[in-house]
Amino acid sequence: MDNSEHKYKITLVYDGTNYCGWQIQPNGVTIQEVLQEKLSIILRTDIEITGASRTDSGVHALAQIAHFSYDQEIDGYRFLASINGILPIDIRVKEIEKMPPSFHARYTATNKVYHYHINLDRVQDPFKRLYCWYFPEKINLEALKACSNEFVGTHDFTSFANEPRVGATARNPVRTLRRVGVTPEKEGVRLEFEGDSFLYKMVRNITGTMIEVGKGKRNVEEIRSILAAKDRRKAGRAAPPHGLFLVRVDYPMDVKEGK
């Protein structure tokens, strides 16, 4: 038996509807809790996992990344069959890769992409109700696009975070958004956010404020003053969680399989 410790990266997809987010907490079932429990059964030892993104309650993921350590070599094919055989149907592990010891799902990440889906149709599609914000009001898409440009770049996002006195916002509220896209899709619109990292509820708070601009309740010019205010009360209400998806987490090209 090889008793040295191995680092493994897993890619998973989940429907966050029935979970209180990613991170373990005392008041509800979370993705991390369920995954650790099932991994510990499969690998026959206590396993702790770390995720790239601490998605909030009700938020979904198309490609969440997590890592864990284990003292044996893992057969990827058998592992996927075993873990997915006992996970709930709304969580699936898509891939497992062996990584170098220095790899960290959260801190090694260089870029993250989130999408927020909004259903603007006159009649709500029942098959999208758990995955889109139903908003049957007229929205000015050109105003949305103009508004999105104000968020691109490096800014202090205190006004768009829900943890002003503790956590990441207190330590460093400055983040860089490389892209904020507005893409029309069938029966609605998709907002696309790409950046180095994100503060707690940052995407949902930006989305809620952008929608107020699209409705004409705010002017595009207000975004700069909201950012400068560093006051959460100046921005709009958070968009509901169920329209938000973690789409991709990127890592440096030189992060290769550990030997």
pLDDT tens across 104-116, in order? 999 999 999 999 9
The whole-angstrom separation of Cα 135 and Cα 204 is: 14
The whole-number pLDDT of residue 258 equals 46
Ranking 144-148, 171-175, 206-210, 220-224 by mean pLDDT, the lowest is 171-175
Exactly one of 15, 46, 56, 196 is catalytic; name it.
Answer: 56
Q: Are residues 151 and 180 in the same domain?
A: yes
Domain end marker among 56, 87, 108 = 108
What token pair was written down for 85? 């055989």
- Tell me, rounded to whole angstroms, the distance of Cα 84 from its chain centroid: 22
Q: Are 239 and 133 in contact (CB under 8 A)?
A: yes
Q: Which of 51, 59, 53, 9 is nearest to 33 (CA)?
A: 51
Q: Are residues 73 and 158 in the same domain?
A: no
Report if residue 72 sits inside a domain: yes
Is 71 catalytic? The answer is no
Q: Are residues 118 and 241 in the same domain?
A: yes
Report if residue 253 sits inside a domain: no
Q: Are residues 169 and 83 in the same domain?
A: no
- The answer to whether residue 156 scores a pLDDT higher than 60 is yes
Q: Are residues 142 and 231 in the same domain?
A: yes
Looking up residue 172, the CATH number of its domain turns out to be 3.30.70.660
- Phi, psi dihedral angles at 144 (to 5 degrees): -60, -45
Q: Are residues 163 and 100 in the same domain?
A: no
pLDDT tens across 12-69, in order? 999 999 999 999 998 899 999 999 999 999 999 999 999 999 999 999 999 999 999 9
Report if residue 30 sits inside a domain: yes
What is the rounded average pLDDT for all residues in the chain?
92
Q: Which of 251, 259, 3 is nearest to 103 (CA)?
A: 251
The whole-number pLDDT of residue 3 equals 52
Q: Are residues 176 and 220 in the same domain?
A: yes
The whole-number pLDDT of residue 250 equals 96
The whole-angstrom separation of Cα 138 and Cα 258 is: 52
The whole-angstrom separation of Cα 238 and Cα 135 is: 14
Q: Are residues 240 and 137 in the same domain?
A: yes
The whole-angstrom separation of Cα 62 and Cα 245 is: 7
- The answer to whether residue 164 scores a pLDDT higher than 80 is no
The whole-number pLDDT of residue 4 equals 64
Q: Are 84 and 96 in contact (CB under 8 A)?
A: no
- The answer to whether residue 161 scores a pLDDT higher than 60 is yes
Domain end marker among 79, 108, 137 = 108
- Phi, psi dihedral angles at 134 (to 5 degrees): -80, 115
Single pTM value for the model: 0.92
Crossing angle between the packed helical segments 202-215 and 222-229, to the nearest 10 degrees: 150
Q: Are residues 39 and 130 in the same domain?
A: no
Q: What angle do CA 135, 136, 138 make, to 5 degrees?
A: 105
Q: Domain of 71?
A: 6-108
| Count of structural domains, the chain | 2
The whole-angstrom separation of Cα 134 and Cα 211 is: 12
- Phi, psi dihedral angles at 154 (to 5 degrees): -100, 120
Count CB-CB contacts under 10 A for residue 78.
10
The whole-angstrom separation of Cα 178 and Cα 241 is: 22
Higher pLDDT, 163 or 159: 159
Q: Please state the rounded mean pLDDT for residues 133-162.
A: 94
Q: Are residues 146 and 240 in the same domain?
A: yes
pLDDT tens across 93-103, in order? 999 999 999 99
- Phi, psi dihedral angles at 93 (to 5 degrees): -90, 120
Q: Are residues 101 and 144 in the same domain?
A: no
The whole-angstrom separation of Cα 198 and Cα 157 is: 9
Domain end marker among 49, 82, 108 = 108
Q: Are residues 117 and 85 in the same domain?
A: no
Report if residue 46 sits inside a domain: yes
Share of the chain above pLDDT 70, in %: 94
- The answer to whether residue 165 scores a pLDDT higher than 90 is no
pLDDT tens across 74-98, in order? 999 999 999 999 999 999 999 999 9
Looking up residue 30, the CATH number of its domain turns out to be 3.30.70.580
